[in-house]
Amino acid sequence: MVSDTLFSGSRWDFLRPKTIPDTLANWLFDSGSLTAKLKALNPDFEVEVLRHANGRIYHDEVALLEKDVPCQVREVILRSAGLPVVFARSVIPNADDASLNALNSIGNQPLGEALFSRSDVTHGPIAVTQFSAQSNMASFNEELLGSRQALWGRRRKFEITDNPVLVTEVFLSSAPCYKEPA
């Protein structure tokens, strides 16, 4: 399973870094559904669930959720044409709320579809970070894809009936955001 230190050393920022290429920025700061964007490029899309269970959350996740409560942690790989393109980690508080309970039982269905199809979901601002080629995330990418490079990720808090859901998405080296448009 994914290590508890996968995001260690990451610094999340809500502002666009000056050095980021436009192609990459268009993916990182797109306010729409990443699932929909990936499916539009290639309908051969699937979600591989690595873990979905009660789990420990990171200190920065507690701060963003603004509460330290037991949570479900869902870690998945989004695949396009069979290739891993995104690692996603979602933190969903355990609450006596049918909306949140429904998210905890989606199996290998995309969380993005569940979040973006609802009218009662508030979308927070997007924060981004870059993981260096020496980071644990780059190591994870190397295990999956055989290449080690700097990677970019984004994080966003959603609110469903006053309950926060935190979604972190890391674009793996095979993600289309690193390719220049033709």
Is residue 1 situated within a structural domain?
A: no
Look at residue 16 and tell me if it is in a domain: no
pLDDT at 4: 56
Domain count, the chain: 1
113 a known binding residue? no
Query: Is residue 7 assigned to a domain?
Result: no
Which pLDDT score, from 0 to 100, does residue 1 have?
41
Q: What is the pLDDT of residues 96-122, one digit of tens each?
A: 777 777 788 888 998 888 888 888 889
Confidence of residue 3 (pLDDT cuts 50, 70, 90): very low
Inside any domain, residue 17: no
Task: Report DSSP letters for 50-111, one per residue.
Answer: EEEEEE---HHHHHHHTS---EEEEEEEEEETTEEEEEEEEEEE--S-HHHHHHTT-TTS-H
Residues in a beta bridge with 121? 160
Q: How confident is the model at residue 7 (pLDDT cuts 50, 70, 90)?
A: confident
The answer to whether residue 103 sits within a structural domain is yes
Residue 65 maps to a domain: yes
Is residue 10 situated within a structural domain?
no
* pLDDT at position 182 over 70: no
Instruction: Say which CATH number the domain at 117 has.
Output: 3.40.1410.10
- Say what the pTM is: 0.91
Element (DSSP H or E) covering residue 126 = strand 121-131
Domain containing 148: what range? 22-178
Residue 89 marked ligand-binding = no
Check whether 143 is labelled as a binding-site residue: no
Residue 166 belongs to a domain: yes
Which of 23-37, 65-79, 90-104, 151-165 is predicted least confidently? Answer: 90-104
Per-residue confidence (pLDDT) for residue 181, from 0 to 100: 67
